[in-house]
Structure 1
Amino acid sequence: MCFVCGRDNPIGLRLTFYVEDGRIRTNFTPRPEHQGWPGILHGGIASTILDETVGRTAFLVDMWAVTGRFTIHYHHPVPIGQELTAIGEIVRVRGRVLEARGEIRLADGTVAVEAEGTYIRLSDEKRRELEAQLDLR
């Protein structure tokens, strides 16, 4: 019942992620219920989308991980009703720690939001437990 990717979550974003050129990517068109200021995507929603996108880069190296640290930089307002693209890529992997970055691009290619995160590998036992519970796409 993930808020970001859960297909059965009635209030969720229901995003679909895919791999392109060794990076994680998703497209999303914010709706009016996602706004903070009128006509502008709420920063918390932008942060949530990027945390999920950047965090999913762990799957590229067969790792399940949780967020250890996440830093976000807002460069431009993100308009409601315009298709956005979120992209995440690995910076490096050191033992149980994955460092990755990502961005949200506007329809014209402008980078509106950037983020960096550190993600910590889950144990194999916890991974098996979550795989049995989650429907990740």
Structure 2
Amino acid sequence: MNEYETTDLSSLSGQTSNLLGSWADSVQGHGDANELRAHHSTCLGCGPDNPHGHHLQVRRDGQDVVAEHVFDERHVGAPGIAHGGAVATVIDDLFGFLLYGMGSLGVTRSLQMDYRAPVLLGRNYILRARLVERDGRKMHTAATVAHETNFVATARAVFVAVDLGHFTEALSSADRDRSSR
């Protein structure tokens, strides 16, 4: 039995408990599959049921994770250009798939984006992320965003491994706040 099976979700509302439980199960459920499942159905980065989401489809490539993505009008910043926050969102989500590959839950401690050229709407970009180093609970990661052979953005991030209790505590507090209104 692992920590995901033994964490008490009873303090959460039914919907929150179900979502968190299925999310935690999916962390453990990737095995050696090359095509990786969405974090959960409504995830902003990869959830297939989120109408405002990016719908990333991620696969393993050796130790890296890779996705192809086309930014569209939902992601516009300046006319014809993807908003920097939209680009950061997909990179942050891609990094989350690295954690899945390690069977670890984690939270973003820092994310640094370097934009080398405009990320244009309607173009196919290759997103690639890798683990650079693991230092205890800290996971240092790096990513690139490329169109054909041109790197348009790079990123570095630090994630901190946490257990499921980190999320249940935050969500229990949110559920209490909602019910007291």
**TM-score w.r.t. structure 1 length?**
0.86
Give the AA of the match of 2:89.
Answer: T
Structure number with the higher helix fraction is 2
1:117 aligns with one of 148, 151, 157: 157
| More off after superposition, 85-94 vs 27-36 | 27-36
- Structure 1: which amino acid aligns with 2:158? T
The residue that corresponds to 1:60 in the other structure is 101
What is the match of residue 136 of structure 2? 95
Q: Identity of counterpart residues, as a percentage?
A: 23
Cα drift, residue 123 of structure 1? 1.2
Q: Work out which structure has the larger RCO, using CA pairs closer than 8 Å and 6 or more positions apart in sequence.
A: 1
After superposition, the Cα gap between the structure-2 partners of 1:50 and 1:124, relative to the gap in structure 1 and judged at 3 Å, is same
> Cα RMSD over matched residues?
1.8
Letter matched to residue 117 of structure 1: A
CA 1:128/1:59 → structure 2, altered by over 3 Å: closer, same or farther? farther
Residue ranges of structure 1 left out of the alignment (5+ in a row):
130-137
Q: Give the equivalent residue in structure 2 for 1:134.
A: none
| CA distance in 2 between partners of 1:40 and 1:127 (Å) | 34
Structure 1 residue 64, shift from structure 2 partner: 1.3
Distance 1:126 1:33 in 2: 32
Instruction: Structure 2: give runs of 5+ residues left out of the alignment.
Output: 1-41, 170-181
Aligned pair count reads 128
- Please give the alpha-carbon distance, in whole angstroms, between the structure 1 residues aligned to 2:59 and 2:136: 25
Q: Letter of the aligned partner of 2:143 in structure 1?
A: G
The residue identity in structure 1 corresponding to 2:156 is: E
Off by >2 Å, runs of 4+ in structure 1: 124-129
After superposition, the Cα gap between the structure-2 partners of 1:42 and 1:111, relative to the gap in structure 1 and judged at 3 Å, is same
SS state at 2:54 partner: coil
Q: Rg larger in 1 or in 2?
A: 2
CA shift, 1:126, in A, is 5.0
Q: Distance in 1 between matches of 2:166 and 2:60?
A: 24
Distance 2:59 2:168 in 1: 22
Q: State the TM-score, normalized to the length of structure 2.
A: 0.66
Deviation at 1:48, TM superposition (A): 0.7
2:59 to 18, 42, 48: 18
Structure 1 residues 65-108: Cα deviation after superposition (integer angstroms, max 9, x where no partner): 110111110001111111111110000111111110101111x2
